[in-house]
Chain A
Amino acid sequence: EIVMTQSPPTLSVSPGERATLSCRASQSVSANLAWYQHKPGQTPRLLLYATSTRATGIPARFSGSGSGTEFTLTISNLQSEDFAVYYCQQYNYWPTFGQGTKVEIK
């Protein structure tokens, strides 16, 4: 099983600032990496797939980079609606998720 490790577990950011979330795979997953946003009481939301392709309706302030084992989700100019838990997921093999990074208001 591919283990996905996200860091940090919690990230405190002020509105308008940039948030950088990391995701590491236990072995190479090529570019087969997706990111999801999950807010309490709501369904998870697909943000990015294929490392950097934004899903339908996702604003340009969400961007992704990386390949192989190291990946980054960057949220620029954080808005109030962006405070949530973010999960990375590899789908190069049987899919596995990271444990999540909670982005909270500083």
Chain B
Amino acid sequence: QVQLVESGGDLVKPGGSLRLSCAASGFSFSDYYMSWVRQVPGKGLEWVAYMSNSNGYTNYADSVTDRFTISRDNAQNSLYLHMNSLRADDTAVYYCARNLRGYIVDLWGQGTLVTVSS
């Protein structure tokens, strides 16, 4: 079954850190660029980070640059998002996303909730 399954969402205090994971299955993970997209509950979607399939290229939203790091392990079919210096406005559901090409998502995970609150 072609799917993406996120994990790692939690309640964390402002200034804290968290690592999200995404397990891919049912397709050749190493062939695809991947991304993280978030959604504040009841609000719109925001693209967070983007990573190429093999050469390590990454790109980030201005709001998370220097705080978040996207990475992947093609041998483990896994995508990660390392989040540091978390703020209240980082509270959102974080979706793992497969890129069809460029910044077009053709497969989404169910999402994992990150809540930043004291």
Does chain A bind chain B? Answer: yes
Q: Which residues of A contact B (CB under 8 A)?
A: 1, 32, 34, 36, 43-46, 49, 55-56, 87, 89, 91, 94-100
User: Which B residue sits closest to A98, measured CB to CB?
Assistant: B44
B37-57 vs A, Cβ < 8 Å mask (1 yes, 0 no): 000000111110000000000
The reply on B32 being an interface residue by CB < 8 A is no
Question: Given A1, A56, A89, A91, which contacts B45 in the complex, CB threshold below 8 Å?
Answer: A89
The smallest C-beta distance from B34 to any residue of chain A, in angstroms, reads 14
- Choose the segment among B14-22, B74-82, B83-91, B105-113 that binds chain A (4+ C-beta atoms closer than 8 Å): B105-113
Interchain pairs with CB closer than 8 A, number? 48
User: Among the listed B47, B100, B106, B108, which residue makes an inter-chain contact with A94, where contact means beta carbons less than 8 Å apart?
Assistant: B47
Q: Which 7 A-B pairs have the closest CB atoms?
A: A91-B103, A43-B108, A95-B103, A97-B45, A95-B47, A99-B44, A49-B104
User: In chain A, what residue has the closest Cβ to B63?
Assistant: A1
Q: Which one of A96, A98, A99, A100 lies within 8 Å of B47 (CB-CB)?
A: A96
Which residues from chain A contact B11 at a C-beta distance below 8 Å? none
A43: chain B residues at CB < 8 Å are 95, 107-111
Residues of B within 8 A of A (CB): 43-47, 59, 61-62, 95, 100, 102-111
How distant is the Cα of A34 from the Cα of B47 in the complex, in angstroms? Answer: 14
For the complex formed, measure the closest distance between the CB of A84 and the CB atoms of chain B, giving whole angstroms: 14
**List of A residues within 8 angstroms of B47 by Cβ:** 94-97
Given contacts A99-B44, A100-B44, contact A91 B104 (CB under 8 A): yes
